[in-house]
Structure 1
Amino acid sequence: MEIANLKPSLAWKLNHVGLSPMHLALQHKCTKMVRGLITINSQLIRVKAKGMITPLHYLAQTEDPDLLAELLCACPSSIEDTTIHCETAAHVAIRNCSIRCFKVLLGWLRRVNKEDILNWKDEDGNTALHIAISTNQTEVVKLLVKHANVNVKNFNDLTAMDIFHLQGSLQSTEIGEILHKAKAKKASDLTSNMTLGDYLSKELTLIDKRDKYFGINIQNNPNDIRTVILVVAILIATATYQAGLSPPAGYWQDDYKPPANNGTTNNTHNSSLGDGQRQRRAGQMIMSPADLFYFLAVNGSAFYLSVWTILVIIIGLPFSRAVYTSTWLLLQAYYSSMTGTFPTQGSMALTVGRFLYITFTVISTCAAYMIPWRAFCKHQKLKRRVDTMRGSRVLTHPEN
């Protein structure tokens, strides 16, 4: 330990059989030394020994889930390392029937939103689910179908369901039931997959354009553009929502109904009355019809466009569904407030204006909410058809 502390580069060296000090410490179960090396440099967890096996891969095939968890927390990026056979730590754990370690890996992937690593393929095109089925591990299959793509094909064009049927009487019937409930299909029943080249040849989707303009897929990009636009959109949405609730002229505080016209005298008298003498109800907007239409059209357009921008930016992020739901409720509250305070009594112009504004509000509310959601669902469906070594993750998260 003292040598590694004085000369850290030695901790990266491999011996004559291709093992680093970290690998040797794990082999001899020197847990204290492993923790000491992590303290010196947590990146030592990513040192690749013979066969490109990292300390994380080594631990994944043992029954030491506690130390495995410590390594994951010390170096989160190590979960993306693969062996010379393109196997992730999840592949290794399942192949060696190390269920406890696999549960640790799965729990970590779920917490850091990297479940798509479960769809990564080894050199034969097998995902973690393929291996779990071929080794008849019912408990692992039950865990995987909740988070992995059950219809991915390996390089022999076999899906998880195909592998299950090939096992014949050797396979657990419970696994078949699990796959059936997860809507797993045979390769012959699937829509033809797209190659990565086919995907890149297609026109950009709305989500692709968002990622392009905001620089989401650019390596080492801090997403400053997205942050700035999101902040500005939130400020505009807040200001326009507040303006809608508090219009410039305010609201009437009482009800008023002009007296019935009696002859020419009353008609002449009423024609001289100002705007404040028109029929009204308490709680409705005071503004004149022309000003009211202009204000609501401009303010409403700014509000809905800013909400649409916010939803386009956040969709696909963790917890975005919760934000989507709350935004839908906000849009409903805005709609209720605007339609509830719009003048209902008065000229034909106000009646027509009210109808047009309600129509505009309904269409804008649905468009602001549905367009980003439909675009995201369409984009995700397209990505699931793309057959790559690293699942759909390669389409959105380039390696550093």
Structure 2
Amino acid sequence: MDARLHRAAIRGDVALLLDLLQRDEHILDGVMMMHDHIANENPLHIAAQFGHVDFAKQILSRKPEYVHKLNSQGQSPLHLASGAGHVEVVNLLLKKDVGVCFVRDKRGMTPLHIAARKGRLEVLKELVIAERTAAWVQTDQGEPILHLCASNGQFEALKMLIKLISDNDFVNMKDDDENSILHLLAPEIQIEVIEFLLSNRRLDINCLNIKKYTPLDALVKAPRRSGFKKCKRILCGAGGKRAKEISQALAVNHPKSTWQAHANWLNETKSSLMVVAILIATVTYQAALNPPGGVWQDNYPPRLSPGDNITAIRQWYADYETYIERNSHVVGESVMSSDLSFGYLTFSFFNLISLFQSLSIILLLISGFNLKRRGLMWVLMISMWISIGSMAVSYTICFLCLTNSYAWDNARIDNVEVPPFTYVIVTCAALTLIGPLVIAHLVRLVIRHRKKSRILKFGRSIGTENREGAAIQVSVDQTRTP
């Protein structure tokens, strides 16, 4: 930058600027590195920093693109004008381009952040009115603008921002450590600001930060200061609690809350349930098409065709009894159904149940129903139990049918023969581990209903006693009336 132009910008000398432009109309295009502290600066930076409105107007009328230029600190003219508190220059720059409100300097701060940090209330107001969304932008350190005001002691700026932006989500913003604005204000005993916040916005009074502290925890764990008791009383009066109180309340919460938590968990694991249901459906479908032992690849007895001669037909009838003894079959028939018809029917029955239950689970999950409803949750849970249990039973039957029959026929326990059916029962009971879980749920359901019925009976008895007492009181009062 030309030295004469630099001096004119510092003093805001419009006459000197016009004289320089008359002598050299390209003087604003030239840049000369004079000192490190003014490197990359143009005259608009200097005019904005010193608040020379008329000088800035002359520069912008000739070089409007200067409003976007950044100096060596990555600051635009709006950064400098906001930090210095020059409202007229700020308005002038905003009229050229309001998008400069989102430009960050090398410290990751926008013009709004600088105005808030330095407590430039009028500038802050103009910036928020011009671009309200810029107030939601956090610094590069993840610090919201309200936190920036609190950490720099600019509580008037904090109040102004809350008045200008009537949004509860804005007040409940958190920094990278999950601290809300109350986490910062409570340890500093900023009673007036806390009361202002609680009276003007709906705050999450018991939100947790990264250390699992509520604002009340932050107050209690901070060094004691004057006003501690009053601040604690205000937070408690607004519903503030310590983290351990919240955890204790969750541990002994109402069954309805437990059910809600289970519903939330089920909703979150919906995709996993879908994968399991599809896997079960695939396995059972494949087992139906390819049963244990496979299928017959030929017809037995062989089929007679019109071209057969009389000798072949006589031979076929002569071997008819042999065909019957060797279990006749056709192509595609299950081998297992020919030799172990009961086992095959049992396997097919449980395999079919598992397939249909898994398909019903898939349909329920993709239908978009609200899984937080108790009825749908019970249907989903019972269907999954039945599907997994049936698949376990069908696997057990396959295992038994594919095992060498000699091993079963010679099975002994303490020299006592054990029939194969006993092994079927034992194996089914061992593999179907879902049985105890079903029983446990049923027992819990019965106990819960019994407790609920006792509570209802107790409430009815108290209501009856109250009604009888009220009736007696009324009768006594009537006897005392003249």
Normalised by the length of structure 1, the TM-score is 0.45
Q: Which structure: larger Rg?
A: 2
Give the number of the structure whose residues are more often helix, by fraction. Answer: 2
Q: Which has the higher contact order (CA 8 A, sep 6+)?
A: 1
Normalised by the length of structure 2, the TM-score is 0.38
